[in-house]
Amino acid sequence: MLIVGISCLIAAFLLIKPAKALLQPIVAQSDQLNLSSSQSVPAHFFRKYSTWFEKVPENHPLLERGTCTSDDFINDVIHNSEVLTFSNDEWSVPVFYADEYTPVQEVVPYSTSSQAAREAIESNAWNKNVPNPPEAQPASEADGHLVIISHDRRYAWDFFHATKDANGLLSASTIKRWDLNGDGIDQPYTYAGSRVAPVPLLHGLMTYDEIVNQGKIEHALAFAYNQAKLGTPGVYPCVTSNSGLCERECCLWLGFRLQLNPELDLDTLDLNWASRIVAKAMQEYGMIFVENNGVGYNGVYAEDLESKNVSWDGIFEGTILNIPLDQFRVVEPVYPAIKPLPEDINQDLSVDILDAQLCVNGLLGKEVDPEVIGRADVNGDGKIDSNDLQLVIKKILEY
């Protein structure tokens, strides 16, 4: 009877809701937030939980490698620069969204692209059927970063050294397509892509939506400083065959996670409201070293809004974050705990018909367990309704 009842309910939803809409991949709630005006990146666009969304556990061990301690590594960061900045313009990452009418093209890698890059791109067909929104423009500086997200929000294409010709056609030295149904963790390493570390451009990027609309950042930030340690393989989630050029004894390795002292009273710092959001994320999630920067720069990334109708003007007070680097420490890699999906109401690590039944019970007021009632509010909007049930059914239909 349970299966029949829920099957009828699913059938009813298919009649009430357009089947195409019901079957579209689930995206983070922030993907529904006024994309037409802000075109902001959803905070958790990769749907599979990963270390990027895992808070640094309390009393997590500090990292040591060879004779270098956490303090030694932080001192090397300070040696590079005593201030922490953020890039939100030509050195950052603009993100654009395709719609159902967006033309697609084959993106031809430059003839100067490395043989390894061309082979990886062409063997994986990352450059085939790439959506090319007319309004999409790469970052204007030498890196030429760009992200384009597919209409169904299933894939994201990363570009490095991207340009557009007079006809609006894209070219790039590096192209990589990421499956947003995954976790964006390229381990074991296959091909680096658009950063020095094998991570997507979306991971660790601060977004307008997070700062202005949500008022919180719920992931680690992407960190850049001048050159990874020469000859080192990196650590999770950035183990790679690449390395930097730094020959100092205690340079960072790719993947090192720097955490702001969680005991630091942020009220003692000269932070405006936006910088405080960033500092709080650095205390909870830290920042992961993924990119080589110029000499004298330590920085994190905020999405490039240059071609959008919103901007960072008036949100941050300049590009220097008044967050003291000597209050950071380097911690051991954080491996994600296995956590139930929001739709997994009974938390058995599987989304199935039983979760749909619990959601129905909550919707009809028949559930008595307060914890189950809380979890049945899948989208966290303070009530249990058909929207929550639809999310559970969508997730069931994905399997």
- Please report, for the chain, the start and end positions of each structural domain, with discontinuous segments joined by +: 2-32+340-398, 51-90+202-331, 95-179
Per-residue pLDDT, averaged over 114-132, amounts to: 92
d(CA 352, CA 359): 11
Per-residue pLDDT, averaged over 193-199, amounts to: 90
Q: What share of the chain is helix, strand, coil (3-state, %, to 5)?
A: 25, 15, 55
d(CA 35, CA 308): 11
User: What's the Cα-to-Cα distance from 295 to each of 187, 311, 325, rounded to whole Å?
Assistant: 29, 27, 16
Asked if 62 and 228 count as a contact pair (C-beta separation under 8 A), the reply is no
User: In the structure, what pLDDT confidence band is assigned to residue 25 with cuts at 50, 70 and 90?
Assistant: very low
More confident residue, 226 or 69: 69
d(CA 229, CA 68): 12
d(CA 169, CA 127): 12
pLDDT of residue 24: 35
Looking at every residue in the chain, the average pLDDT score rounds to 86
Instruction: Check pLDDT > 90 for residue 312.
Output: yes
d(CA 197, CA 77): 18
Main-chain phi, psi angles of 320, to 5 degrees = -100, 125
User: In the structure, what pLDDT confidence band is assigned to residue 29 with cuts at 50, 70 and 90?
Assistant: very low
In the chain, the percentage of residues whose pLDDT exceeds 90 is 62
Per-residue pLDDT, averaged over 231-247, amounts to: 87
Q: What is the DSSP letter of 175?
A: E
Cα first-last separation, the chain: 22
More confident residue, 340 or 322: 322
Q: Which of 38-47, 73-82, 182-191 has the highest mean pLDDT?
A: 73-82
In the chain, the percentage of residues whose pLDDT exceeds 70 is 88
Asked if 155 and 128 count as a contact pair (C-beta separation under 8 A), the reply is no
Asked if 62 and 69 count as a contact pair (C-beta separation under 8 A), the reply is yes
d(CA 336, CA 185): 12
pTM across the whole model: 0.78
* 389-399: pLDDT as tens digits: 999 998 888 75
More confident residue, 166 or 337: 166
Judge residue 110's burial from the number of C-beta atoms within 10 Å of its C-beta, 0-12 exposed, 13-18 middle, 19 or more buried. middle
Per-residue pLDDT, averaged over 163-170, amounts to: 95
* 343-395: pLDDT as tens digits: 989 876 678 888 899 999 999 999 888 888 999 999 888 999 999 999 999 88
pLDDT of residue 81: 94
User: What's the Cα-to-Cα distance from 137 to each of 162, 171, 289, 306, rounded to whole Å?
Assistant: 9, 12, 26, 9
User: In the structure, what pLDDT confidence band is assigned to residue 336 with cuts at 50, 70 and 90?
Assistant: confident
Q: What is the DSSP letter of 82?
A: S
More confident residue, 4 or 59: 59
Per-residue pLDDT, averaged over 134-157, amounts to: 92
